[in-house]
Structure 1
């Protein structure tokens, strides 16, 4: 029985289903090494290993973008939990970068572009808070009414002299 890979929606590159995240890279791995390791699975469009600007070294992960989504799926099937230079790799579909835009390219939008959604969420939260306050008040009133009714039904205690 052949293993199957579920194709996730979302991703980093031009086609989200063709870009892979590769985590767990050993310090000496460079883009050429990563390219060579993933080349057997298909035509590679781009290999990128982001560098830490403070140290000048990579941060232990990279991205491999394939020409075809079937090649990316084959690479995940074969390379996830595989070993490269003594380190176990984590390979899956890359997720969109939220800060730099993701699927919609938000990086070119003004900061206030999301204001309407934010205000709607805030209004919904406030409405929920008000509803919960009303519920607590109603429960307190019912509790006080029940306590008063219970007190009226009980016979008065005899007065002690």
Structure 2
């Protein structure tokens, strides 16, 4: 499991990535946990989409100095 963190604060960003062994486990986890309540919050569970490729010609950062 991966818990992405905010680069500035180091705090977790409120979502995670979990690797599953196969499609059947993935579908079972989504069916069982999507919209389930956990610690007073509603979970949203779905399959991650591949990240789009970035071009190398655009500036990085948050746009301020």
The question of a shared fold, defined as TM-score above 0.5 by the shorter chain, is answered with yes
Which residue is equivalent to 1:76?
30
Residue 67 to residue 89, structure 1, CA distance change in 2 (3 Å): same
1:131-158 Cα deviation digits (max 9, x unpaired) = xxxxxxxxxxxxxxxxxxxxxxxxxxxx
- Pairwise CA distance, 1:81: 0.1
Who is 1:63 aligned against? Answer: 17
Gaps of 5+ in 1: 1-46, 101-109, 113-161
Higher RCO structure, 1 or 2 (CA under 8 Å, sep 6+): 1
Shift in Å, 1:111: 4.0
Counterpart-to-counterpart distance in 2, 1:53 and 1:111: 21
More strand by share: 1
Moved over 4 A (4+): none
RMSD (Å) for aligned C-alpha atoms: 1.9
Listed as ranges, the matches of 1:143-158 within 5 Å are none
**Which blocks of at least 5 consecutive residues in structure 2 are unaligned?**
58-65
More helix by share: 1
> In structure 2, what is the equivalent of residue 53 of structure 1?
7
Aligned residue pairs: how many?
A: 57
Cα offset, 1:99, TM superposition: 4.1
